[in-house]
Amino acid sequence: MSKRYFGTDGIRGAVGQFPITPDFMLKLGWAAGKVFTGQHTRPKILIGKDTRVSGYMFESTLEAGLSAAGVDVVLLGPMPTPGIAYLTRTFRAAAGIVISASHNPHQDNGIKFFSSEGKKLDDNIEHAIERMLDAEMTVVASEEIGKTRKLEDARGRYIEFCKSTMPRELTLKGLKIVLDCANGATYHVAPSVFEELGAEIVTLGVKPNGLNINEKCGSTSPKTLQQAVLEHKADLGIAFDGDGDRVVMVDHDGEVVDGDELLYIITYGRSVRGELGGGVVGTLMSNFGLEKALVRLDVPFVRAKVGDRYVMEQLSQRNWLLGGESSGHLVCLDKTTTGDGIISALQVLAVVIGTGKPLALLKRGMTKMPQTMINVRLPEKRDIANEPSVCAAVADVEKRLGSRGRVLLRPSGTEPVIRVMVEGEDAVEVQQFAQQISDTVRSVVAVG
């Protein structure tokens, strides 16, 4: 059964446009509260947010709705998304709520829920919340109204947890690191983590004003970080996104090290130490170079659909520990329950320190394949990938690529667009093949 509001990563949209409105958030808080009061006696729910200005408005409306349903609320203030997942679990709370639109600009916002285990909510609970949204809102008896308190040491608790994921025998002493916190939720957490572990740090994006989150900074815009690493002659740079669940890094030469390369480095380090614990889950968009590099390490690799929810599903089914996306949303399930930018960065640094090799050298174990993506707009959503002529064009390219590359046709989940992606060893050939398939798609569309 499809959902009306919940997507693969919660509910998200433009502030002021339904459903990202105060009245909807009030009802959402109440609906979630009613579902959890049906499962727990006097449940407790944590609310955290990133630094965008609209977070304060939605925090208060969610709080009111939860209280009206008889839920006690604990306010965490600005906190990274994975920090909220961690505190939800350690507080034995019924759920955690994150007010964030992740890597999007301040004009957007959204809501994510975590279960009592610090994981994404099960589909059945999301369906139950959506059904309750159709009910008339009521208020529990006065003596049953939920109470609210603020957790004053949320930041400190999470900082200590992040530090605990680094092997005790390792220190960051001697490393000079530039941190870009995207003017987001890691701004008052990440600098303390890395500094207290011994690194000399230079900070960027640590002055949020409610409007500058992800603005020309952070993991989606690493150019400023690249320049800063070179300017300060740093050993490396680390960039998070607005809510702190993604990370990309920059080596001492100023070159970006993306999520696929970071996932390879973490896997390589654990493989060397004999601590891998299974294979690795990527996505349909993971670079083919990652797959080939893992084959050389004799590490199993599977691809999930795009989205961290699907990566987590595959990890759970296979009882594996490592997975992630090219965007830098990495999961280390032996350390925490969800994607965590700070903890993922620490796992990479553990390999840097443990091997004595700089980031620039470690990433050379994986050679990224040239990749071309062409978006072809359709007049309406349709299953164009199964059209005979399109299938023939794809088969022809796959035959010519052989084991040297791959082809992917993926429909957009939000608009009538088919994404044509080709990867291979030769950039010119890859571009030509992608154009060839795209032209075939367009000819089918033109005929109708």
Q: How far apart are CA 13 and CA 135, in angstroms?
A: 23
Question: Nearest to residue 96, comparing CAs of 113, 71, 82?
Answer: 113
CB 322 within 8 A of CB 266: yes
pLDDT at 266 over 80: yes
Using 50, 70 and 90 to split pLDDT, how confident is the model at 307?
Answer: confident
Using 50, 70 and 90 to split pLDDT, how confident is the model at 413?
Answer: low
Helices (runs of H) and strands (runs of E) counted in the chain: 14, 18
Q: How far apart are CA 206 and CA 193, in angstroms?
A: 14
Using 50, 70 and 90 to split pLDDT, how confident is the model at 174?
Answer: very high
pLDDT at 431 over 90: yes
Tell me the mean pLDDT in the region 332-342. 97
CB 114 within 8 A of CB 122: no
DSSP lists the bridge partners of residue 248 as 239
Q: What is the model's pLDDT at position 381?
A: 72
Q: How far apart are CA 427 and CA 24, in angstroms?
A: 48
Q: Which of 35-49, 89-103, 238-252, 405-419 is predicted least confidently?
A: 405-419
Q: How far apart are CA 183 and CA 429, in angstroms?
A: 40
* C-alpha to C-alpha distances, 154 to 110, 182, 410, nearest whole angstrom: 21, 20, 41
Residue 127, token pair as written in the block: 């369906």
pLDDT at 412 over 80: no
> Which domains can be identified in the chain, with CATH numbers?
11-151 (3.40.120.10), 158-365 (3.40.120.10), 371-447 (3.30.310.50)
Tell me the mean pLDDT in the region 215-242. 98
pLDDT at 78 over 80: yes
Each residue of 156-172: pLDDT tens digit? 999 999 999 999 999 99
134 contacts: CB under 8 Å, gap ≥ 6: none
CB 199 within 8 A of CB 173: yes
Tell me the mean pLDDT in the region 146-165. 97
Q: What is the model's pLDDT at position 349?
A: 98
Q: What is the model's pLDDT at position 9?
A: 85
In the numeric block, the tokens 């030769």 are attached to 426
Q: How far is CA 38 from the centre of its chain?
A: 30
Q: What is the model's pLDDT at position 303?
A: 97
Each residue of 345-389: pLDDT tens digit? 999 999 999 999 999 999 999 999 999 999 999 887 778 889 999
The amino acid occupying position 419 is R
CB 260 within 8 A of CB 366: yes
161 contacts: CB under 8 Å, gap ≥ 6: 83, 86, 336
Using 50, 70 and 90 to split pLDDT, how confident is the model at 448?
Answer: low
Q: What is the model's pLDDT at position 8?
A: 81
Task: Tell whether the torsion through CA atoms of 44, 4, 408 and 241 is positive or negative.
Answer: negative
Which sequence positions are flagged as catalytic? Answer: 102
In the numeric block, the tokens 């960051």 are attached to 172
Mean pLDDT of the chain: 96
Q: What is the model's pLDDT at position 1?
A: 67
Q: What is the model's pLDDT at position 355?
A: 96
Q: 417-423 and 406-411 as β-strands: parallel, antiparallel, unpaired?
A: antiparallel
pLDDT at 447 over 90: no
Q: What is the model's pLDDT at position 414?
A: 64
| Residue 78: φ, ψ to 5° | -65, 120
Q: How far apart are CA 425 and CA 443, in angstroms?
A: 27
Each residue of 44-76: pLDDT tens digit? 999 999 999 999 999 999 999 999 999 999 999
SS3 call for 182: coil
